[in-house]
Structure 1
């Protein structure tokens, strides 16, 4: 999400939970106990926003929000399941917020569909509930920074990991379980969809404009992660190197592309998670 400059979310949901981020890829960190405050700083402009009271008027058939003051909006840094039993459950949860007083933090600009990225907090005597955190924690949404180049709240990955391990919500559906990077046939069946893919990096190719993480011996036929040089610089600034990635088992998320065998382009470093000491996804 894009929190307001003076808004600091409580750490009760995400603090101390286990999660893996690209910042630790090169220094031997895999799944470790960290707090959000210990992560590399996010660009202030990308995560800044304006916070104020608002109300949810309705939910569109596509799952978008219609706010009284903000108009068309979407919950930032998460996505609802496209189908399956968890989809109507997620929509039903969001509809319980209609006409309730909410504290809404809006992002700096609308997306190409005219939606404001927002973070919603539901006030209550205990300090309030963050809508995105509640949905992810219940397995009713997954982490997705969308078109942004920054994940402002990497602690959401910890909540998602716990929900996935417990097979909650969408994670009980085989459609959303991480795919095997070596099963190129299954990957090709999912072109154009948002997926999680797990596998071991066989080689790393550094070129002038991009870096390629190859998962097979025939890069033109197998799965590849494409990292633009701008994103690669962010990763190397955090300590990642080609040598530190080769041979590592990782998880990546994004839209599957029909490039060579199959590929995912990553512009947000946290979309690559190291899994060396984690249990394989079921």
Structure 2
């Protein structure tokens, strides 16, 4: 059986994505491997044939032969960034709590063997990816978000483009079906039967809303976030925009919601 290591990324403001040490986060040691090909900015192929999805991030997507799908802006640059970091190099794999996705890809955090550079952190730091977590894969989310904020503040990579700009609740009309980061002040909250609604506009039938099931709301409470107490607070949420009484994001874990400092500016970079 592969041993379980307790790992955490040690970093401070403006630190590099290179130091790993023992700590409170539990990941499974996946051992060493060599990267033979980079598919895109968040997927690599190993010499043994395994395809590894870099868990916790989403790089700009390449079409990769998919019909009616166009490359996202900076998708080629993100792929080249990953190639620059790990192509034809030995890497260390640390399996995520859910170690495989429905496509059969390995889900892992990856570090470069020569100097322990954390691939996810470095891609975020260069502005070549966004944080993209799931309920069963949330390990190191706080560290990932810190690197993303650093790149966004510096407006490097994707953060220099309107395509990836943080949205406000009133600028989502053209964003249906896309993954977005949205920031604004909560106007009201309500629980209707088994669902919690976080409303950002006066008209819940047309304005932006965040939706959380009562079951998932327990995860937020465990993380110290009382959803019904968010009224008046500025928050940043991320997810896929769907149309349900106006634009809506459905959240199923707390790492996709950040409570922000109470500033007057509408967008905190």
Once the two structures are TM-superposed, the CA of residue 149 in structure 1 deviates from its matched residue by 4.0
Higher mean C-alpha deviation, range 200-209 or range 256-265 = 200-209
Q: Which residue, out of 22, 26, 33, partners 1:54?
A: 33
Contact preservation (8 Å) 1:212, 1:225: yes
Q: Which residue, out of 42, 60, 65, partners 1:81?
A: 60
RMSD: 2.4
Distance of 2:222 and 2:41 partners within structure 1: 38
- Counterpart position of 1:133: 121
Distance of 1:252 and 1:105 partners within structure 2: 27
Segments of 5+ residues of structure 2 without an aligned counterpart are 15-22, 62-70
Distance of 1:156 and 1:120 partners within structure 2: 13
Contact preservation (8 Å) 1:149, 1:268: no
Contact preservation (8 Å) 1:223, 1:263: yes
Distance of 2:136 and 2:213 partners within structure 1: 11
Contact preservation (8 Å) 1:55, 1:67: yes
Q: Which residue, out of 60, 67, 70, partners 2:46?
A: 67
Contact preservation (8 Å) 2:210, 2:251: yes
Once the two structures are TM-superposed, the CA of residue 257 in structure 1 deviates from its matched residue by 0.6
Q: 1:85 to 1:240 in 2, by over 3 A?
A: closer
Q: 1:211 to 1:49 in 2, by over 3 A?
A: same
1:237 and 2:222 aligned: yes
1:98 and 2:87 aligned: yes
The two structures have a TM-score, normalised by structure 2, of 0.82
Once the two structures are TM-superposed, the CA of residue 16 in structure 1 deviates from its matched residue by 5.4
Contact preservation (8 Å) 1:70, 1:116: no
Once the two structures are TM-superposed, the CA of residue 7 in structure 1 deviates from its matched residue by 4.2
Distance of 1:65 and 1:78 partners within structure 2: 13
- Counterpart position of 1:166: 154
- Counterpart position of 1:258: 243
Contact preservation (8 Å) 2:127, 2:157: yes
Describe how 1:133-212 pairs up with structure 2 within 5 A. 133-145=121-133, 147-153=134-140, 154-183=142-171, 187-212=172-197
Once the two structures are TM-superposed, the CA of residue 247 in structure 1 deviates from its matched residue by 0.8
- Counterpart position of 1:6: 5
Contact preservation (8 Å) 2:194, 2:214: yes
- Counterpart position of 2:106: 116
Count of residues in correspondence between the two structures: 245
Segments of 5+ residues of structure 1 without an aligned counterpart are 18-36
State the structure with bigger RCO (CA 8 A, min sep 6), 1 or 2: 1
CA offsets, 1:143-187, max 9 Å, x none? Answer: 001x4344211211111111101101000001101111023xxx1
> What is the SS of the residue equivalent to 2:31?
strand
Q: In proportion to residue count, which structure has more strand?
A: 2
The runs of 4+ residues in structure 1 deviating greater than 4 Å are none
> What is the SS of the residue equivalent to 1:159?
helix
The two structures have a TM-score, normalised by structure 1, of 0.79
Distance of 1:61 and 1:103 partners within structure 2: 19
Higher mean C-alpha deviation, range 236-245 or range 48-57 = 236-245
